Structure 1
Amino acid sequence: MEIRQSTESDRSSILEIHQHAFGNEKGGVIATLVDDLMHDMTAVPVLSLVAVEGKRLVGHVLFTKAEVDGAEVPLSAQILAPLAILPDSQKAGVGLRLINEGLEQLKKSGVDFVFVLGHADYYPRCGFRPAGSLGLCAPYPIPEEHAGAWMVQELNHNYLGQIKGTVHCSKALSEPQHWRE
């Protein structure tokens, strides 16, 4: 399997991956979000990676710009959203490979923090930990029963636990419906 940056010619396959991974209704919403994020200037810089088996795209992950309002030092942040793997390729490590490659590239480019709102049992496998308890709030309040789903990973420096604030994301991702279960 190859992990590489996506190209414009991958666009329809990427949208199909999200559609199939999340099912028809939710998949359509997620595919629209991905398309919007890829063209949202407030999301730049964007890191869009695909997993390719043979000539077939089987997975996609997107990282977009975020800011931490209230941070006392300048820092660079990204949000991982969304990650999708075709159903017949799930549970084979594709998602972990996409995430880890993305984190490595972002670390090399100087990104300090990566945030994710996702499954509390899955993302810690890649080094994510709860962000709210560290003083880093999501763009919208996360219900207490889902507090562990809002996570962060520090890639550079040693700011975690010292920086507090609210994360702000791109215009396309800042809609409240993207922050609910």
Structure 2
Amino acid sequence: MQIREALKTDLNDVLAIERLAFGYDKEANLVGELLRDPSAKPLLSLLAFKKDRAVGHILFTAARLSGTKDAVSIVILAPLAIVPDTQQQGIGGKLIRHGLSLLSGSKVDLVFVLGHPDYYPRFGFAPAGCLGFDAPYPIPEEHANAWMVQALRPGVIGGVSGKVVCADALNKPEHWRE
């Protein structure tokens, strides 16, 4: 398997992966919007290939933390998509780890995700709300553990808190319902 940054010429593959993985167009449309959204940049878009076939995609977009005076660099992981016939093969985990490694080298401090609370903790994510980080839109109490964060720099968590403000394309309540 190979992972590399997605190119502009990969857009059709990226959107096809999103459609296949989720079974509808909502995530594909969101990804298309985020890739065009200046407020989402800088962003990191990665593709996973098995042989010459694109089978997975992950997107990290810029965000900011309101309510803090400290300069902190944050991103949101959304979405992660794997085509159905290659799921359960570790591709998602490899995309997450590769993305986190690249982001760590680019001086990103915090990575947030709204996702399955049994999946993302395997990669170092922990519930964010109880650590002082509010989601862009309220998360119902029964899904509070789905809003997660991972620090890529020691000492950041506990030193800052506030509400995450995401890219304009992602800043819609329908994207924040788990």
TM range (shorter): over 0.9
Secondary structure (helix, strand or coil) at the match of 1:30 reads helix
Give per-residue Cα distances to partners, 1:63-86, cap 9 Å, x unaligned: 000101012310100000000000
Give the alignment of 1:32-181 within 5 angstroms: 32-181=29-178
Q: Which amino acid aligns with 1:5?
A: E
Q: Which amino acid aligns with 2:14?
A: I
Secondary structure (helix, strand or coil) at the match of 1:162 reads coil
Secondary structure (helix, strand or coil) at the match of 1:104 reads helix
Secondary structure (helix, strand or coil) at the match of 2:72 reads coil
Secondary structure (helix, strand or coil) at the match of 1:95 reads helix
Contiguous gaps of at least 5 residues in structure 2? none
State the TM-score, normalized to the length of structure 2. Answer: 0.98
Residue in 2 that maps onto 1:31:
28
Separation in 2 of the partners of 1:140 and 1:115?
A: 13
Separation in 2 of the partners of 1:165 and 1:32?
A: 29
Contiguous gaps of at least 5 residues in structure 1? none
1:157, CA displacement in angstroms? 3.7
1:8, CA displacement in angstroms? 1.2
Separation in 1 of the partners of 2:152 and 2:68?
A: 16
State the TM-score, normalized to the length of structure 1. Answer: 0.97
Q: Which amino acid aligns with 2:86?
A: S
Percent pairwise identity: 53
Say whether 1:11 aligns with 2:11.
yes
4+ runs of 1 displaced by more than 3 Å? none
